[in-house]
């Protein structure tokens, strides 16, 4: 089946199936992940909850042993293994061009940025927003509602708007 048809089926059916916490939910998770493996590069032992948005599926990779919860939006991101992403997280992958003052920003199109990298063993809290092209170092914790605008050092704990280093795990 073509990638576009599978993407259509994912959004029409599989992204709306009940959570893996629902009775029989491991079967629904299996169907979601099986469909996603035909669209994006995705590892083993993954949990993907309902309503995860993957755009057109380009430039998204998810490593082994990850959990992605409800209402997460992913774009242009590479996620390493053992990553937990809480509900409502948005990982942005593009920026609008805005340099020409004579053309409305809406008409200037998008500029591609480097991929966002989420390293191994990261926990991203509910409703966090990660701007495009950010690198989140291994072992980081991103607090609920944080807005990540700069790279995050390994084992750092970040929170706030814009997010700042508020502690270390070591």
Q: Is the per-residue pLDDT at 129 higher than 70?
A: yes
Active site (annotated) includes residue 65: no
CB-based contacts of 89: which residues, under 8 Å, 6+ apart? 69, 72, 73, 124, 125, 126, 127, 128, 129, 130
Q: Is the per-residue pLDDT at 58 higher than 80?
A: no
pLDDT category at 125 given cuts 50, 70, 90 is very high
- Residue 170 confidence (pLDDT): 81
Strands 94-96 and 110-112: antiparallel
pLDDT category at 57 given cuts 50, 70, 90 is confident
- Pick the catalytic residue from 96, 111, 164, 168: 96
> For the residues 17-25, what does the mean pLDDT come to?
91
Q: Is the per-residue pLDDT at 1 higher than 70?
A: no
DSSP assignment letter at 88: T
């Amino acid at each position: 089946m073509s990638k576009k048809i599978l993407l259509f089926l994912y959004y029409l059916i599989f992204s709306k199936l009940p959570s893996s916490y629902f009775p029989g939910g491991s079967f629904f998770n299996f169907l979601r992940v099986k469909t996603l493996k035909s669209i994006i590069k995705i590892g083993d032992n993954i949990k993907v909850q309902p309503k995860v948005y993957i755009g057109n599926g380009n430039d998204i990779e998810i490593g082994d042993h990850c959990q992605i919860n409800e209402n997460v939006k992913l774009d242009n991101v590479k996620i390493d293994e053992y990553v937990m992403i809480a509900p409502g997280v948005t990982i942005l992958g593009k920026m609008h061009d805005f340099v020409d003052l004579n053309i409305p920003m809406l008409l200037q199109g998008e500029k591609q940025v480097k991929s966002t990298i989420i390293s191994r063993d990261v926990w991203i809290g509910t409703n966090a927003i990660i701007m495009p092209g950010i690198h989140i170092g291994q072992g980081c914790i991103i607090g609920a509602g944080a807005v990540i605008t700069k790279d995050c050092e390994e084992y750092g704990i970040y929170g706030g708007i814009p997010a700042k280093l508020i502690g270390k795990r070591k």
